[in-house]
Amino acid sequence: MREGSLLVIVILSAMLFGAIFSWAQAIVALVTVVAFIFFLWKEKSYDIESKNDKIIALSSLLFFAYPLFQLVPLPLSLLSIIHPKLNEIVTISQNARPLFHSITLYPFATELNASLLFLYLAVFFMAAFGIRDKERTLKVIEILVFFAFFLGVFGLIQFATWNGKIYWFRDPLFARAAPFGPFVNKNHFAGFIVMIIPFSLGLMMKSGRIEKKFLYGFLGVVSTIALFFTTSRGGILSFLAGIVVFVLFSSRKGISKTILIPICMFVVILAGYLLFFGISPILERFAESSVTTDSRLVAWRGTLSAFSDYPVFGSGLGTFQHIFKVYQPEGLRLYWNHAHNDYLELLLELGIVGTLIVMLFFVVVLKTIIKTNWSRKDVYLGAAFLSSITTIAFHSIVDFNLHIPSNALLFSLILGLGVSFSREEVNDHRKQRAWPQRQL
């Protein structure tokens, strides 16, 4: 039941245009909140016993509490010392100097984004501390792999029969939109599907039956073809980075034929498909722009300029699009609602203090997955988790995938599943060590 709710949340958000529209967010939020309330009511106790689990739970609570702290009215005289620019902006916007003001420049934007953050952390919490069975975790991963295949096929069919409308009936609504599948932006489709592709590799390597290996390999190849057809440079490069991490983690005790042969076969088959369908558009896409003239670099400089005025506590979660126009460098055209770099945007909105809290959360989760003493077969799933996290971490350097609700929900689910699976792996290892003692 719980696993089904998590899958419904992620799949529904993806199919509803990535849940970027307010009405779609409302539907996803309703499903998530109901599932979370049912989870809290159904569960009499939570599997938060180890020190590591307590640190993860505490860091996730701090993560959510920080934007709420940004909403608390504080003496403007105190805030003026920390963020002098805030005093100037607040005084101009209100035509007077108020006695109190929150850290965030735009409380409504912070409230809205804090609400979304609650949904992401609720999904993470349900996956991390609600799923206590490796078989259930595997079932969720398998369904995600099949969904990625379905999403890839749908995207390819829509690409081949494109009539200018998503689902063949809805206009993208944005003049510069580049849709793919149900997503308004092809880069966000790429960011979503590339997080799932490593799990098709993990299941392929883990499976002992040859027909299962071919099945998961086929699903992964089709999903990857869809990824390449988006011609998303960030998506493709993040996929390659994920493959490197997958191989390195799988071969911590040495590279063997068991690892290299299936991976090489996967790459060769993928290359054959791409050559058959045509690889020229992908090559042209990589050759069409120069890094030195990319407007992203200009936007990043403007973001750092804004950060210099709010370095400690940030300008407020979700305030980038409202503050950036003040710092937008000359010559940078169009309206920028995101920095196209999730790290810089996070630094601006949360400041150094908030960024350290977020780092604590992710470092503890990553440490949990990396330090797990993975068994011989399950090491490939450990590699898949790290590879998936690597793809979104790499892609976030040049895009804003984690500001797309469907992608953030999927990422939260993957992090939660990683924590859950790692815990069950540790428990299995302890049982195996204790078994000989009981026999004696």
pLDDT in tens, 187-245: 999 999 999 999 999 999 888 788 898 899 999 989 999 999 998 989 999 999 999 89
The tally of CA atoms less than 13 A away on the side-chain side of residue 293 is 4
Give the pLDDT confidence score for residue 79 in this predicted structure. 83
Digit-coded pLDDT (tens) for 135-165: 999 999 999 999 999 999 999 999 999 988 9
Question: Sorting pLDDT into bands at 50, 70 and 90, what band is 259?
Answer: low
Question: Sorting pLDDT into bands at 50, 70 and 90, what band is 87?
Answer: confident
Task: For 185, list phi and psi in degrees, rounded to 5.
Answer: -125, 130
* Rounded-to-integer distance, Cα 124 and Cα 223, Å: 25
**Full residue range of the structural domain in which residue 315 is found:** 2-439
Amino acid at 429: H
If you count DSSP H runs as helices and E runs as strands, how many of each does the chain have, helices first? Answer: 17, 2
Total domains in the chain come to: 1
**DSSP 8-state code for residue 185:** B
CA of 238: how far to CAs of 68, 242, 245, 290, 346, in Å?
33, 6, 11, 19, 20
Q: What mean pLDDT is reported for the chain?
A: 86
Amino acid at 79: L
Digit-coded pLDDT (tens) for 285-305: 666 654 444 788 889 999 999
Give the pLDDT confidence score for residue 180 in this predicted structure. 94
Work out the average pLDDT over 404-431.
85
Give the pLDDT confidence score for residue 373 in this predicted structure. 79
More confidently predicted of 180 and 287: 180
- Model confidence at 124: pLDDT above 50: yes
* pTM for this prediction: 0.91
Highest mean pLDDT among 71-80, 276-285, 431-440: 71-80
Work out the average pLDDT over 252-275.
67
Give the pLDDT confidence score for residue 267 in this predicted structure. 74
- Model confidence at 42: pLDDT above 80: no
* Rounded-to-integer distance, Cα 295 and Cα 11, Å: 33
Digit-coded pLDDT (tens) for 45-74: 556 767 888 899 999 999 999 999 999 998
